Amino acid sequence: MSNKVKFVIDGKECQSDEGKYLVEAAKDNGVYIPTLCNYEGLKPKGSCRICTVKINGRLATACTSPVHEGMKIENYTAELNEVRKEIIELLFVSGNHFCPACEKSGNCELQALGYRYEMMAPRFPFAFPIREVDASYPRIIKEQNRCILCKRCMRGIKDEDGKSYFAYKNRGKDSLVVADRKLMSAMSPDKAKEAMEICPVGSILVREKGWDEPIGTRKYDNAPIGSEIENK
Amino acid sequence: MKTTVNKIIKKYKNDRYRLMDILLDIQEELGYIPEDLNQMIADELSISKVELDETISFYHFLTQKPLGEYTVYLNNSVTAGMMFREDVKKTFEEQSGVLFGNVSSDGLIGLFDTSCIGMSDQEPAAIINNVMFTNLTPFRVKEIVADMKEGKPVEEMHKQNFGGGKNSSDLIQAVVKNNIRRKGPVLWDPYEPGEGLRKSITMEPGDVIEEIKNSHLRGRGGAGFPTGLKWEFCNKSREKERYIFCNADEGEPGTFKDRVILTEMPKMVFEGMAIAGYAVGAKSGVVYIRYEYLYLRKYLENTLSELRKAKLLGRNIAGKNGFDFDIRIQYGAGAYICGEESALLESAEGKRGEPRDRPPFPVEKGFKGKPTIINNVETLAKVVKIIKKGSTWFTNLGTQESAGTKLLSISGDCRFPGVYEIEWGHSIYDILEMVGATDVQAVQVGGPSGILINPNQLPRKLGYEDLGTGGSLIIFHESRNLIREVVMNFTEFFIEESCGSCSTCRNTPFILKQKLEKILDGHGVVQDIDDLVEWSKNLKFSRCGLGHTAGNPIITSIQNFRHLYEKLVQRDRDYDTGFNLAESVKESCEASNRSTVV
Amino acid sequence: MSKPVLATTSLAGCFGCHMSILDIDERILTLIELVEFNKSPINDIKTFTKQCDIGLIEGGCCNSENVHVLRDFRKHCNILVSLGECAIMGGLPAMRNGILIKECFHEAYLNGPSTTANTGHIIPNDPELPCLLDKVYPCQEIVRIDYYLPGCPPRADLIWETLVSLISGKPAELPYEVIKFD
């Protein structure tokens, strides 16, 4: 059995299992640390950087840092929140995120973070990159305009031999997440659904599935992302 | 083609971890990696095709289509620009009839840019079919392109003597110069291969670690982590399978001292690895070396054979029963980020060179998940001398906080660019006098990821207590345009070399570059200078050092040369989006055949 | 004391944001009490007749006329408010960004399904017509914008609360539900 450890987040005394990732350990204590690339059950990757906190004064991603006894964590500070907001804005301007035209709108985690951090307009200029809508697979559409390169699909959607359906291509600002044609041609409807669910934005869509939830009843229409943790 | 590729994959036992070697071998055999074989290669390695594509598309020098019978990679680092690279580039384009980024229609010549290739003291330089060409001029380029049209082998195109030292040896035969300008008490002391190793095996492994700790040796790649401590951490692991890596991926623009060490004293470096192996009980070592130094391959492989023959590598080495240690050479394929130690490990495992999240650190879980020590070339060479002469001898050199000496790679506006071994503690002013630099406007200390200092800061001292550095110093004369020539070049470098994993480093440098262009185009306002500083801050949220420092060229130049920025921005207005109506309707007016009056 | 003056316009938008202004329902009677309208499609005043306090901009800029109007608004309004996704990020019209204008023209006038009537194969170029911009620009990339009200359209309550706050100087009370990007 694992040891219990005590740690402090923004002055709040917390307790959790030694070595548990900080995002999860905080959640156990009713503290929300914003995440985007993190997904329960997947190995964390720390690629979106939104969960960055200060652990004993040093910046670190909460999704990849295990908790230890006596840690002092800063989470909801003006400095950290400002950079988180900046990161959200970076993701908005670096893709083509037209929320009104997106099937995931209302259930999108990027949009929900935009709401939570009160992004009224990004401070950065829009890049308007040229990206394709790849509709060449039998089960899904890969909407590259909306991909935020969080790697959730890459980590989570694998076949029985452990091969990835999705992977990165290129590097730096030219990076893309692309799908494997051979594996895609044999993708099951369940796998497709799983892929769409694992995508935090509207970049992986199950074919022939449109808007089926009325505005006002969607996941983030009435309460901010994270409030489910904070109000527990 | 298929059989060739199959043979190569078999040679590496279908081992996915050897993907870098497989891809490099395929490319060496065929000139490129044919895309239609990707599925087959992936199947042989039991990975999906996109997982293979993801590795291939990461590396600058791996290509899926032929890039010309002669492929020219012309370095685009700042020092090349200072030595009239533009003229060289233009001549290449004129003579070959093809623009950079393309291959001539007959498939003969391909012209491409590439990040710093470690020749900053002999620019402009290019790699043509893996052969180094340095000190290029338009005249030389005309001759080279003429030779290409005649179909001459690249090796026969040189008109210079081969470079000094081992560069002229049969196994290298490169025109590269060492430019060793100052021999220091560590590296150019007489050296007999095995002298450090033989002494170390008379000591207990724990005492070897203790000796290195006592020497206060710190990593010479730039980060400056205490070497002995690293070894100790590795030694504490419960895992018994351990690895020693030599980081020979020096990619920081303006750095080339590891190239010189590997050319002149590779045995000392390899011996340092063996000593580390003895200290922590590792049996294998890997030298991860940048693709740009492929011209050293035969020579380094041969050096390893010689050490095996001399019983300084292999089984029961240095006369000690049960002490086995061997080394293999792992080439990279063009990615600055692979100099970051965890990215280096990913690359050595045949993957994209994306840094890992830490913890765990490589000393806990490194290569293939096993405890791994990664030390810089210079660090490992110094280990040998420390063991031979003792830690006190070493700590007597340098300063209180910074023991020993440092190799500097000096380039830019000075009379004697090259490699200098100095004791820590010299001021930048001393160094400028040493290398013959006058009327200095600025010095870039530690490459683009370091800082740009101004003349008031010349009394600052080299050492961990002040300016700790991997040793790259680029000097800029007062006639240089710092923002346009230097800051822009460095910022573009970081855009080119970001791995793309973190949202911050993938996106921010490009946005900063746009802002910089706006200022240079005369549309800037004071707010833009402040935005540059503010917007750089999110880079500190990145995973690795590349991301953390990608804003440094801009931040440190604003800190130390703010007046240059202020001269460029508009004084009479406090807001300007930079939008230009006449420019922005040009395209539509042309497309609808009307005049552009708005 | 005279009433604050309000102006509105729709650039590359669909007038949905203006519809949302009307969605404040009976509060529009209060609004008329609170402000005086100057240039706006609501009262059909075509040109500015005086300096205004607040300008509401719907839509981004897709052509030269949009730019002129926007600059005119910046000149005549003390406070400029971007209303809705198109003004803030280009919105749907910006989906053409990245496509060559030549291709857009060819699709719209020569090759597209609705071009059969264009028997002369004409790409309109009368000097009276505004010129298309190379891409659709969000308003803040042309002039300084003071406030942003996101939404497609921005919720009527968001518009109302913001206007009342700007007029009265009292901080706006904006519940979570009213700030949305769709």
Of B28, B454, B83, B399, which Cα lies nearest the Cα of B216?
B399
Identify any residues that bridge with A141 across adjacent strands, giving them in sequence order.
Answer: A205
How close does chain B come to A68, measured CA to CA in Å?
Answer: 12
Consecutive 10-residue averages of pLDDT for chain A (232 residues):
89 97 97 97 95 97 97 97 98 96 96 97 96 96 97 96 96 96 96 97 94 92 96 84
Of B172, A121, B168, A153, which Cα lies nearest the Cα of C148?
A121
- Pinpoint the alpha helices (H) of B177-247: 195-200, 205-214, 227-236
The neighbour count for residue A132, using CB atoms within 10 Å, is 11
One-letter amino acid for residue B550 of the chain: A
Q: Is B113 exposed, middle or buried (0-12, 13-18, 19+ CB in 10 A)?
A: middle
pLDDT the model gives residue A28: 96
- Using CA atoms, how far apart are residues B157 and B137, in angstroms rounded to an integer? 14
Domain identity same for A103 and A198:
yes
Per the CB < 8 A criterion, the answer to whether A2 and A19 are in contact is yes
Identify any residues that bridge with A13 across adjacent strands, giving them in sequence order.
Answer: A8
Domain identity same for A44 and A119:
no
pLDDT the model gives residue C1: 60
Whether the link from the prior residue into B193 is cis, omega within 30° of 0, is: no
pLDDT the model gives residue C143: 98
Domain boundaries, chain B: 2-56, 70-160, 182-395, 405-480, 483-568
Model pLDDT for residues B150-180, shown as the tens digit of each residue: 999 999 999 888 998 999 999 999 999 999 9
Interchain CB distance below 8 Å, C125 and B593: yes
One-letter amino acid for residue B563 of the chain: H
**Mean pLDDT taken over chain B:** 96
The neighbour count for residue B71, using CB atoms within 10 Å, is 22
User: Which chains neighbour B (Cβ–Cβ under 8 Å, 3 or more pairs)?
Assistant: A, C
pLDDT the model gives residue C173: 87
Identify any residues that bridge with B285 across adjacent strands, giving them in sequence order.
Answer: B244, B327
**Mean pLDDT taken over chain C:** 95
Number of domains in chain A: 2
3-state secondary structure at position C132: strand
Instruction: Identify whether A223 is part of a domain.
Output: no
Instruction: Identify whether A225 is part of a domain.
Output: no
pLDDT the model gives residue C148: 98
Interchain CB distance below 8 Å, B585 and C101: no
* pLDDT over 90 (residue B223): no
* pLDDT over 80 (residue B598): no
- What the block records as the tokens of A12 is 């709040």
Domain identity same for A148 and A40:
no
Model pLDDT for residues C145-181, shown as the tens digit of each residue: 999 999 999 999 999 999 999 999 899 889 999 999 9
Q: Which chain C residues are closer than 8 Å to B597 by Cβ?
A: 127
Query: Backbone phi, then psi, for A143, in 5-degree steps?
Result: -90, 95
- Pinpoint the alpha helices (H) of B326-375: 341-348
Minimum-distance CB partner of B537 among A83, A93, A161? A83
pLDDT the model gives residue B513: 98
CB pairs below 8 Å between A and B: how many?
128
Interchain CB distance below 8 Å, B507 and A90: yes
Interchain CB distance below 8 Å, C179 and A129: no
Closest Cα in chain A to C137 = A126
Per the CB < 8 A criterion, the answer to whether A115 and A139 are in contact is no
Domain identity same for A63 and A115:
no
Closest Cα in chain B to C127 = B594
Minimum-distance CB partner of B588 among C132, C140, C141? C132
- Using CA atoms, how far apart are residues B389 and B393, in angstroms rounded to an integer? 6
**Domain range enclosing C142:** 5-178
What average pLDDT does the segment B412-426 reach?
Answer: 97
- What the block records as the tokens of A154 is 């890459």
What average pLDDT does the segment B339-346 reach?
Answer: 97
Domain identity same for A181 and A201:
yes
Domain identity same for A61 and A148:
no
- Using CA atoms, how far apart are residues B472 and A190, in angstroms rounded to an integer? 55
pLDDT the model gives residue A212: 85
Task: Say if strands C52-58 and C5-10 run parallel, antiparallel, or are unpaired.
Answer: parallel
Interchain CB distance below 8 Å, A164 and B359: no
Per the CB < 8 A criterion, the answer to whether A133 and A96 are in contact is no
- Using CA atoms, how far apart are residues B499 and B336, in angstroms rounded to an integer? 9
What average pLDDT does the segment B201-209 reach?
Answer: 97
Q: How confident is the model at residue B185 (pLDDT cuts 50, 70, 90)?
A: confident
Task: Say what percent of chain B tops pLDDT 90.
Answer: 96
Task: Say what percent of chain B tops pLDDT 70.
Answer: 99
Interchain CB distance below 8 Å, A87 and B541: yes
Determine which of A54-58, B16-20, B161-165, C8-12 has the lowest per-residue pLDDT on average: B161-165
- Using CA atoms, how far apart are residues B513 and B522, in angstroms rounded to an integer? 14
Number of domains in chain C: 1
pLDDT the model gives residue B222: 86
Per the CB < 8 A criterion, the answer to whether B326 and B314 are in contact is yes
* pLDDT over 80 (residue B75): yes
Interchain CB distance below 8 Å, A168 and B537: no
One-letter amino acid for residue A14 of the chain: C
Closest Cα in chain C to A94 = C89
Interchain CB distance below 8 Å, A167 and B54: yes
Q: What is the DSSP letter of C106?
A: I
Domain identity same for A90 and A202:
yes
**Pairs from B360-369 (Cβ < 8 Å, separation ≥ 24):** B361/B233, B363/B230, B363/B233, B363/B234, B363/B237, B364/B233, B364/B237, B366/B243, B366/B245, B367/B243, B367/B245, B367/B286, B368/B17, B368/B243
C172 touches A: beta carbon within 8 Å: no
When the candidates are 3.30.930.10, 3.20.20.140, 3.40.50.11540, 3.40.50.300, the CATH number that belongs to B182-395 is 3.40.50.11540
- What the block records as the tokens of B144 is 């080279």
What average pLDDT does the segment B566-579 reach?
Answer: 95
Q: Which chain B residues are closer than 8 Å to A173 by Cβ?
A: 495, 498, 500, 506-507, 510
Model pLDDT for residues B482-501, shown as the tens digit of each residue: 999 999 999 999 999 999 99
Q: How confident is the model at residue C85 (pLDDT cuts 50, 70, 90)?
A: very high
pLDDT the model gives residue B596: 67
Q: How confident is the model at residue C2 (pLDDT cuts 50, 70, 90)?
A: confident
CATH of domain B70-160: 3.40.30.10
Query: Backbone phi, then psi, for B394, in 5-degree steps?
Result: -75, -45
When the candidates are 1.20.1440.230, 3.30.70.100, 3.30.930.10, 3.40.190.10, the CATH number that belongs to B483-568 is 1.20.1440.230
Q: Which residue has the tokens 């792992």?
A: B330
Minimum-distance CB partner of A111 among C92, C176, C181? C181
Domain identity same for A72 and A88:
no
* pLDDT over 60 (residue B31): yes
Task: Say if strands B109-114 and B70-75 run parallel, antiparallel, or are unpaired.
Answer: parallel
- Using CA atoms, how far apart are residues A136 and B568, in angstroms rounded to an integer? 49
| Sign, CA torsion B569/B570/B571/B574 | negative
User: Which chains neighbour A (Cβ–Cβ under 8 Å, 3 or more pairs)?
Assistant: B, C
When the candidates are 3.40.50.1220, 3.40.50.150, 3.30.479.10, 3.10.20.600, the CATH number that belongs to B405-480 is 3.10.20.600
Closest Cα in chain C to B596 = C131
Whether the link from the prior residue into B359 is cis, omega within 30° of 0, is: yes
- Using CA atoms, how far apart are residues C120 and C116, in angstroms rounded to an integer? 10
C70 touches B: beta carbon within 8 Å: no
Instruction: Identify whether A187 is part of a domain.
Output: yes
**Domain range enclosing A125:** 84-206
Burial C130-147 (b: 16+ CB within 10 A, else e): bbbbebbbbbbbbbebeb
What does each C-alpha distance from B99 to B94, B106, B282 come to in angstroms? 8, 14, 49
Instruction: Identify whether A20 is part of a domain.
Output: yes
Of B257, B247, B249, B289, which Cα lies nearest the Cα of B473?
B257
3-state helix, strand, coil in chain A (%, to 5): 30, 20, 55
* pLDDT over 90 (residue B186): no
Q: Which chain C residues are closer than 8 Å to A96 by Cβ?
A: 94-95, 97
Which CATH number goes with the domain that contains C32? 3.40.50.700
How close does chain A come to C170, measured CA to CA in Å?
Answer: 19
Residues 6+ apart with CB under 8 A from B410: B121, B181, B416, B417, B418, B419, B420, B431, B435, B473, B475
Per the CB < 8 A criterion, the answer to whether C159 and C149 are in contact is yes
Of B510, B547, C110, C78, which Cα lies nearest the Cα of A128?
B510
Chain centre distance of CA B393? 31
Domain identity same for A128 and A197:
yes
pLDDT the model gives residue C114: 87
